[in-house]
Structure 1
Amino acid sequence: MTTPAAPRPAPLRSRRPEWADRNFLLLTAATVVTNLGTHGALIATTWAVFESQGDAGDVGLVAMARFLPLVLFLLVGGAVADRLPRHRVMVSANALNCVSQAVFAALVLSGEARIWQMMVLTALCGTGQAFFNPAAEGMLMASVSGEQASRAFAVFRLAMHGAAIGGAALGGALVAFVGPGWVLAIDAVAFAVAGGLRAFLDVRNVPERKPGGGLFADLREGWQEFVGRPWLWSIVAQFSVVVGLIGAVESVYGPLVARDELGGARPWGIALAAYGAGTVAGAVLMTRWKPRRMLFVGTLCVFPIALPSAALAVPLAPAGLTAAMFVSGVAIEVFGVSWMTTMHQEIPEEKLSRVSAYDWFGSTALLPLSTALAGPVEEAVGRSEALWGAAALMVFVTALVLFVPDVRNMTRRPHTEEVSAGSPGAPPPDVPLPRQSPSADAEGTVRRDG
């Protein structure tokens, strides 16, 4: 008599959420790796300049060399990312960053690094970032769909901010123990690993791009998409001012107040750490909270970003400044997730990278000017007055944005009404099809994107 076979155990269900597909996981893992390396490398670069007998002015020159090509090539990078496969643009940019950082590390370790060489190499790194950022933002939005998009973005930003905090802490420790050259070498390896991960992105379900009319035609089409949406260009204009003011406050006024009024660099370092902790807390919050009027809620959360400027203007005791920085971090993260969700919902897939490039460009345009004018403004009106003015201007431009009807009234669409590939009324796809930062971050450097 044959014994009946024992029933097979039911297969275990994957604990991975529906929205965390293979591409999303690869993008998140790659961003964690690069943020761990990059935020340590930023500290290492400053110490490399000092070891080469450079002064504060040289530090500014090296930083500017990275920033200028980022601004100059962003629009071209966005157009290229909408013409070519985005994952190839990202891998190529990572390769350029890997090579430039490896050469930088070799020069520093040899003791032969010169300021002009550092400027050239950081300019190459900034160029790579200009092409990477729009492609990364478009690819990230391509990796999620449906009602859980905002949760996916929140998880991504949580991982990004956590890696940034850890990278800065680890990088600072390693600079002290092994020197800046080895930290730069680690950053080169991180870019190589991240590029390898991104090379495995699955793009079989990405719709083929229709041939365009050339690079300038693509830029013009992206511009028309940008200016045709009042909610988009008004918030980018707002953040052009806000990001510029934050740059002046955090790069110039904050350290000066800490030195002269709060007892040194330690309170300022703790306040910056509190800001980072706030962004993590905000990301955790946004994994659970999905406000219906997402753009309105996000814009309201820009008002608390003025708190650190006001706290420095008083100035508050270190505990009060730390609290203000934490609240500011939470608030900017609520905005960041809301902004990404809005872009995901409203912008056609084939134009995502170009629109993101205009977003990045507008948001960073005033940063060099504002930091350059911070010193002269302080001499003209006084430090406290300059800080109060910065806080008031942030509040003023944010209040102006609330007069835009779409900012107040735009709502989150249900999954059944969601746009596929940006075409109004099209049904959602059966598989996740392609759908930002201040960055951002993906690996961006802009406060709005973390």
Structure 2
Amino acid sequence: MTTVQVSPDPMPARAPAVLRDPGFLRLWTGTTASGLATWALPFVLGLAVLDRRLSAAGLGLVLATRTLGFLAAVPIGGVLADRLSRRRVVLGAGLAAAVASPVLAVGLGRSTVLMALAAAVAGAGQGACRPAFQALTAEVVDADRRQRANAAITLAVRGTTLVAPASVALLATVADLTVLLLGIGLLWLLAALVPPPGRGTVVAAGPRAGFVAEFADGLREARRHPWFLAGLAALTAVIATGYSATGVVLPLVSRDRYGTQAVLAAVLTGYTVGALLGALLVARWQPAARGWAALAGLGCYGFAPVALLLDVPAAVVVGAYVLAGIGIEVFNVPWFTAIQREVRPDRLARVSSLDFLLSYGLAPVGLALIAPAVDAVGAPVVLSVCAVVCVTAPALAALASGARDFSRPAR
């Protein structure tokens, strides 16, 4: 298959600041709406369990099918976003998730099976739009402003996770859960309709290869960047261990060591605050060795399992998670920016889909294994292993070719 890259119009000599760019503001609004809708659904469904309109088993089934829909749609969305217009994929994915929300509302209290099917569609919309949004960012924002653009998107997403719990709980006191599910649908509709068209569309000439062959082209593109493969392996390892330890062990530590779930809430809030601080920092910080600095930030997640392992005051645990939050965004923002910069534009969405599929897609596997491991060998051993993995995986990734700057060395 022959592809022709249509170059965008030259940027003006002095491009406006990214937050004053109407195109980026539309993109930022769409990604923020999709992030808020993604986060809000599990919380609203949890309220449905408290309201006895959904059983705990039903909640597990609905969330499981949502995850399966996400995992199935991520590679499909990556191929389609490289084959078609990224804007069209965002539109289709957002509309699918928007339509699924009222179906969830219809099934609430009536049919768990209907809710599970709708959740699978909503998860598929979420999964398909992720790589498309990543590729669309590279089309809407010129290269020298992308790090700030990615930081601004991160700030919005992290900000919603900080303020949204109280907001949704407050809305639940004055609105029925059905109305909240319809509101989630409106958020997805916003995510579908608001983003701008991209520039530099990839136009395909001649017959197309099959889906598997096109996804394999994305894999080959990923292999051209050793720093990407090493960084993705490190990110996957940290999420599967450190993140999973947070999900499984942190509630137990909060209850058994400190005697209150308030520590759990404080720690999760501290992590989000740290992520906001990290995004603010990296919006302007341009270290000489940006790849190594990002991997060092990823390694900061090791503070989290160490704090859970040691018998320290609760404030120390909260501080450790603040550092972990700072570090994860010091990694994330340069990571996304480097992928948008280094990967061939006509294969960017497929490489981004591989990123999401392995890093966040495998997170449920880590969660599923951590609990049995704690039962088998005890929390101290599990936390020790998690801490070692969180530190050593980024350190090993730093040895890969191009890892210093997240850039493929010139031949």
Same fold by TM-score, threshold 0.5 exceeded?
A: yes
For residues 265-301 of structure 1, give each alpha carbon's deviation from its aligned partner in whole angstroms, at most 9, with x where no partner exists.
Answer: 2221121111111111111112221123211110011
- Equivalence for 1:440: none
User: Tell me, what secondary structure is at the counterpart of 2:209?
Assistant: coil
User: What do the CA deviations read for 1:393-448 (whole angstroms, capped 9, x no partner)?
Assistant: 211222211221311255699xxxxxxxxxx99xxxxxxxxxxxxxxxxxxxxxxx
2:290–2:334 Cα contact (<8 Å) kept: yes
Structure 2: which amino acid aligns with 1:297? A
Quick check: 1:225 aligned with 2:221? yes
Provide closer, same or farther for how the CA distance between residues 406 and 75 of structure 1 changes in structure 2, counting only shifts above 3 A.
same
Which residue of structure 2 lines up, in the alignment, with residue 9 of structure 1?
none
- 2:121 pairs with 1:147: no
Q: Is the 8 A contact 2:18 2:24 kept in 1?
A: no
1:135 counterpart residue number: 132
Q: 1:207 to 1:374 in 2, by over 3 A?
A: closer
C-alpha separation in 2, matches of 1:31 and 1:280: 17
Alignment counterpart, residue 183 of structure 1, candidates 173, 176, 180: 180
Contact map agreement 1:299 1:398 (CA 8 A) in 2: yes
Query: Which of the residues 291, 298, 305 maps onto 2:301?
Result: 305
How far apart are the structure 1 equivalents of 2:113 and 2:340? 41
Residues in 1 aligned to 2:324 and 2:311: alpha-carbon distance in whole angstroms: 16
TM-score (normalizing by structure 2): 0.89
Aligned CA distance change for structure 1 residues 220 and 38 (closer, same or farther; 3 Å): closer
Task: Tell me the residue number matched to 2:4.
Answer: none
Q: Corresponding residue for 1:82?
A: 82
CA distance in 2, matches of 1:159, 1:250: 23
The answer to whether the Cα contact below 8 Å between 1:40 and 1:172 also exists between their aligned partners in 2 is no
Aligned equivalents of 1:304 and 1:281: distance in 2?
14
Matching residue of 1:253: 249
**How far apart are 1:184 and its partner, in Å?**
1.6
Aligned counterpart in structure 1 of residue 157 of structure 2, from 157, 160, 166: 160
Name 1:345's counterpart in structure 2.
341
Give the 3 Å change call, closer, same or farther, for CA 409–30 of structure 1 in structure 2. Answer: closer
The answer to whether the 8 Å contact 2:227/2:407 transfers is no
| Residue 211 of structure 2 is aligned to residue 215 of structure 1 | yes
Superposition deviation, residue 355 in structure 1: 0.6
Moved more, 162-171 or 345-354: 162-171
Matched, 1:362 2:358: yes
Contact 1:70 1:130 in 2 (8 A): yes
Closer, same or farther: CA 207–372 of 1 in aligned 2, 3 Å: closer
Q: Hey, what does 2:101 align to over in structure 1?
A: 101
1: CA distance between counterparts of 2:123 and 2:340?
A: 26
Compute the displacement of 1:57 (Å). 4.6
Instruction: Give the CA RMSD over aligned residues.
Output: 2.5
Q: Which residue of 1 aligns with 2:197?
A: 202
Q: Tell whether the 8 Å contact from 2:298 to 2:328 is kept in structure 1 after alignment.
A: yes
Deviation of residue 252 (structure 1)? 1.5
Alpha-carbon displacement from aligned partner over 1:300-326 (angstroms, at most 9, x marks no partner) = 111111111111122432211111111
Tell me what 1:92 maps to.
92
Structure 1 residue runs of 5 or longer lacking an equivalent are 1-13, 414-423, 426-450
Tell me whether 1:271 sits opposite 2:267 in the alignment.
yes
Per-residue deviation at 1:15? Answer: 11
The more displaced of 296-305 and 227-236 is 227-236
Using the TM superposition, give the Cα deviation of residue 369 of structure 1 relative to its aligned residue in structure 2, in angstroms.
Answer: 2.1
Whether the aligned pair in 2 keeps the contact of 1:30 and 1:197 (CA below 8 Å) is yes
> Does the 8 Å CA contact 1:303/1:394 hold for their aligned counterparts?
yes
Q: Distance in 1 between matches of 2:18 and 2:65?
A: 42
> In 2, Cα distance between the equivalents of 1:208 and 1:21?
26
Question: Percent identity over the alignment?
Answer: 27
Alignment of 1:384-403 (within 5 A): 384-403=380-399
Say whether residues 1:116 and 2:123 are aligned partners: no
Tell me, yes or no, if the aligned pair for 2:140 and 2:199 is still in contact at 8 Å.
no
Q: Quick check: 1:36–1:166 contact (8 Å CA) kept in 2?
A: no
The structure with the largest alpha-carbon Rg is 1
Matches of 2:407 and 2:215, distance apart in 1: 29
* Residue 259 of structure 1, CA deviation: 1.8
The aligned amino acid for 2:280 is V
Judged with a 3 Å threshold, the aligned counterparts in structure 2 of structure 1 residues 204 and 314 are, in CA distance, closer, same or farther, namely closer
Partner of 2:320: 324
Q: Given that residues 73 and 124 in structure 2 are in contact (C-alpha distance below 8 angstroms), is that contact kept between their aligned partners in structure 1?
A: yes
2:41 matches 1:45:
no
Q: Residue 259 and residue 116 in structure 1: after superposition, are their counterparts in 2 closer, same or farther (change >3 A)?
A: farther
TM-score normalised by the chain length of structure 1 = 0.82
Structure 1 259/115 Cα, relative in aligned 2: closer, same or farther at 3 Å? farther
- Corresponding position: 1:262 with 2:258: yes
For the residues of structure 2 that align with 1:118 and 1:21, how far apart are their CA atoms?
39
**Alignment partner of 1:408: what SS?**
coil
> Take 2:200 and 2:298, find their aligned partners in 1: how far apart are those partners?
36
Displacement after TM superposition at 1:56 (Å): 4.6
AA aligned to 1:208 is: V
Unaligned runs of 5+ in 2: 1-13
Q: Is the 8 A contact 2:18 2:148 kept in 1?
A: no
Say which is worse superposed, 174-183 or 367-376, in terms of deviation. Answer: 174-183
Taking the aligned partners of 1:192 and 1:37, their CA distance within structure 2 comes to 10
Q: Is the 8 A contact 1:28 1:160 kept in 2?
A: no
Equivalenced residue count is 397
Can you list the C-alpha shifts for 1:162-218, whole angstroms capped at 9, x where unaligned?
Answer: 2332223312332355343332221111111222212xx134653534453232221
